[in-house]
């Protein structure tokens, strides 16, 4: 069946969930024809984008990201918001599809008409961020979702990628302090706008308070992202809902401060510039390896390398020279 990008774009701006899902499927496709269709849809919906608050959420496995997102999402819906959850899942090495299936882990949230949940396979992308997550954010915004939550696979150095596409970056931590802080990557703490110690309830409440103090101490030794703002550490129990409203209040105060300083739109514009650079690099790499002359030259180069007749760098330079011709 022929896909009409104009029809899909119009339905998306009217809040049609099926058309939104179809457009995201086009965005995630590796087929060139689908890529072109997706870009046409995006081009038409662009005037309706940019009206959401984009929040990245990360944390080690077992910290309760999905439980927190469900509690947080339910709270936002009760406050009158439309919420889209882009849950970036690990990819199956066999089918390439999502493994974790976030809808099954957010059953209550997924049943609400004000919520759109989309598990998105990483496709092997470094850092657990889908290559097309940025386009999916724009499509969700065009469909009228005013809060976009991006859940990443876990904490790692390359989680920096998700911070370059959101307005606020939230890191969840387990209620354990002391020596466990040595296992936290400094780079992740430096890009976090808020650190949230989850599971602060019952027997773990006291440990959570200790972790909160330890984290606040550790943050004193890190340079803040913005001179006028510091990263705070809050307690939360996604299970009971305690602390969830305070998270939303903190996010709004933080982003409103950025807007008052003229930084909010500046950061977003810079993100688009960096996005364009990354996409250009990806397309160049793809075009390089799809070139027929490079394919033949590569076979010859690997032969010379295996026979120790040349160096890898020399062959790289030869390949680039061949590509430019």
Distances (CA, A) of 204 to 144, 172, 173, 182: 39, 15, 13, 20
Q: Greater confidence, 61 or 64?
A: 64
Average pLDDT value for the chain: 86
Of the pLDDT bands very low, low, confident and very high (cuts 50, 70, 90), residue 126 is very low
pLDDT band at 240 (very low <50, low <70, confident <90, very high): very high
Considering the segment(s) 49-261 as one domain, its CATH architecture is 3-Layer(aba) Sandwich (3.40)
- Half-sphere exposure (Cβ direction) of 54: Cα atoms closer than 13 Å: 25
Give yes or no for residue 67 having a pLDDT over 70: yes
* % of the chain with per-residue pLDDT over 90: 59
Q: What is the pTM of this model?
A: 0.86
Residue 21 has pLDDT above 80, yes or no: yes
Least reliable range by pLDDT among 14-23, 77-86, 207-216, 233-242: 207-216
The better pLDDT of the pair 95, 294 is held by 294
Res 119: pLDDT: 83
Would you kindly state where each structural domain of the chain is located, as residue ranges? Answer: 1-46, 49-261, 274-324
Per-residue pLDDT tens over the stretch 175-210:
975 445 544 556 677 889 999 999 999 999 999 999
8 A C-beta contact, residue 118 and residue 148:
no
Tell me the pLDDT tens digit for each residue of 274-303.
888 888 888 899 889 988 889 889 999 999
To which residue do tokens 């940019």 refer? 50
Do 1-46 and 49-261 come out as alike in CATH topology?
A: no
pLDDT band at 123 (very low <50, low <70, confident <90, very high): low
Q: What is the per-residue DSSP string for 140-156?
A: HHHTT-SEEEEE-S---
Which pLDDT belongs to residue 12? 98
More confident residue, 96 or 42: 42
Judged against a pLDDT cut of 70, whether residue 110 lies above it is answered with yes
Q: How far apart are CA 80 and CA 283, in angstroms?
A: 40
Please, are residues 127 and 161 in contact by the beta-carbon 8 Å criterion?
yes
Neighbour tally for 180: CB within 10 Å: 13
CA distances from 199 to 83, 85, 174, 175, 234 (A): 23, 21, 7, 7, 11
Least confident of 99-113, 117-131, 189-203: 117-131
So what's the pLDDT on residue 178? 44
CATH topology of domain 1-46: 1.20.5
- Which carries the bigger pLDDT value, residue 250 or residue 153? 250
Specify the higher pLDDT residue, 60 or 142. Answer: 142
């Amino acid at each position: 069946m022929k896909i009409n990008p104009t029809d899909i774009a119009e339905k998306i701006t009217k809040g049609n969930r099926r058309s939104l899902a179809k457009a995201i499927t086009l965005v995630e496709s590796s087929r060139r024809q689908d890529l072109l269709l997706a870009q046409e849809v995006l081009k038409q919906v662009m005037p309706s984008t940019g009206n959401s608050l984009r929040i990245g959420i990360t944390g080690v496995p077992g910290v309760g990201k999905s439980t927190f997102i469900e509690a947080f999402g339910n709270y936002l819906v009760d406050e009158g918001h439309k919420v889209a959850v882009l849950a970036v899942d690990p990819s199956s090495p066999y089918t390439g599809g999502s493994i974790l299936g976030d809808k099954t882990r957010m059953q209550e949230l997924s049943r609400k008409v004000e919520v759109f949940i989309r598990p998105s396979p990483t496709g092997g992308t470094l850092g657990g961020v889908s290559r097309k997550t940025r386009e999916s954010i724009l499509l969700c915004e065009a469909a009228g979702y005013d809060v976009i939550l991006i859940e990443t696979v876990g904490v790692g150095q390359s989680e920096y990628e998700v911070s370059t596409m959101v307005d606020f970056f939230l890191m969840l931590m387990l209620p354990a302090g002391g020596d466990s802080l040595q296992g936290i990557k400094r780079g992740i703490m430096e890009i976090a706008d808020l650190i949230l110690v989850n599971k602060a309830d019952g027997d773990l409440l006291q440990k959570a308070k200790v972790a909160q103090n330890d984290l606040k101490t550790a943050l004193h030794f890190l340079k803040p992202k913005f001179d006028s703002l510091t990263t705070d550490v809050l307690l939360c129990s996604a299970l009971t809902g305690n602390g969830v409203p305070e998270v939303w209040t903190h996010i709004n105060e933080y982003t409103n401060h950025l807007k008052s300083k003229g930084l909010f739109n500046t950061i977003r514009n810079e993100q688009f510039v960096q996005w364009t650079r990354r996409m250009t690099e990806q397309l160049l790499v793809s075009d390089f390896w799809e070139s027929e002359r490079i394919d033949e030259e590569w076979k010859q180069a690997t032969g010379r390398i295996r026979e120790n007749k040349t160096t890898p760098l020399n062959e790289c330079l030869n390949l680039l020279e061949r590509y430019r011709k």
